Amino acid sequence: MPAQNTTILSDFKTLARTISLVENEADGFETILGSLTPHDIPVIGLTGPPGAGKSTLLNAVIGYLLGEGKKVGLILVDPSSPFNLGAVLGDRLRMTAHFTDPNLFIRSLASRGSLGGLSDKIIEVVEVMKAYPFDYIFIETVGVGQSEVEIAGLADTTVVVLVPEAGDSVQAMKAGLMEIADIFVVNKADRPEADAMANFLSLQLHISGRDHIPVLRTVAVEAKGVKELISTIRQIEFKGNEERRISLMADKAYKIIQRYRMKGFDKKALRQQLIDSAAQPGFSLYRFTHGFLRPLES
């Protein structure tokens, strides 16, 4: 393949093929990744508990941006099939109104059991997509609750979507989603409890010293509040935060290094060694694991 990203990713078909090569770790995928020069494209993450209406809200946001003539890339992280680890939910099931638009690229990724609600190849896939001249890249996660905070280490802006009845969920999320949001959205805001939910969020943010985090209301099925959400995303994007950008890159680099250093590690062999060692007198789990890191000091 050519070394210039403008040649490699000049159209959606080539982009899709490149993502597949990288996701499946086909021969030469590391060379492909090394040859790409990503554009400076804002990455927006949508997260929140199941049933919050993330897909409907994202559909409305995409429609608005496409109406402005923007080029948009979507990564939809779906539950994994228990049989083949593929994405269970299809692109077209969730974006039927827009999937034929020539300015929209949609990619579904299987979470493959990742506890953070993200695919284990999400970092690399995002880097590939940033090599195409999108205006925005959106990531919608599978919706698995507090463990979904992993998206905060990937997206430039994290939008947490909740519904008026989510009070108990928010209480449980204080150590997770409550702390990662750049924007809170109370969706289905035509319901009676919406104002109470928004006030509750504002109070919690005030108590935690995060009054600057906006709390918005939307009715996604009617596209109400979508314009205000996009405007708020742009305001955060234009402010910029170099310290956060570097921190995000450091987190991504750490995860990539961690994964590749563990590549090829035989977990079954580890289990057998653990069984054998645990049968010996004076077994210590620390000494056992320490032996895999460096020779024990005498």
Domain with 148 in it: what CATH number? 3.40.50.300
Structure tokens at 294: 């460096």
Q: How many domains does the chain have?
A: 1
pLDDT value of position 238: 59
**Is the residue at 266 inside a domain?**
no
**Is the residue at 127 inside a domain?**
yes
List, for residues 4-27, the tens digit of each pLDDT value. 444 457 799 999 999 999 888 899
Whole-prediction pTM: 0.78
Q: Residue 97 belongs to what H/E stretch?
A: none
**Is the residue at 288 inside a domain?**
no
**Is the residue at 124 inside a domain?**
yes
List, for residues 117-163, the tens digit of each pLDDT value. 455 788 889 999 999 999 999 998 866 544 456 677 788 899 999 99
**Is the residue at 215 inside a domain?**
yes
The three-state secondary structure class of 167 is helix
Alpha-helical regions (H) of the chain:
5-8, 12-23, 29-35, 54-67, 91-94, 122-129, 167-172, 177-180, 194-207, 226-239, 242-261, 267-278, 285-293
Averaged over 267-282, what is the pLDDT? 88
- Cα–Cα distances (Å) from 172 to 6, 83, 157, in that order, read 46, 32, 22
**Is the residue at 168 inside a domain?**
yes
**Phi, psi of 72, rounded to the nearest 5 degrees:** -125, 135
**Local confidence band at 233 (pLDDT 50, 70, 90 cut-offs):** very high
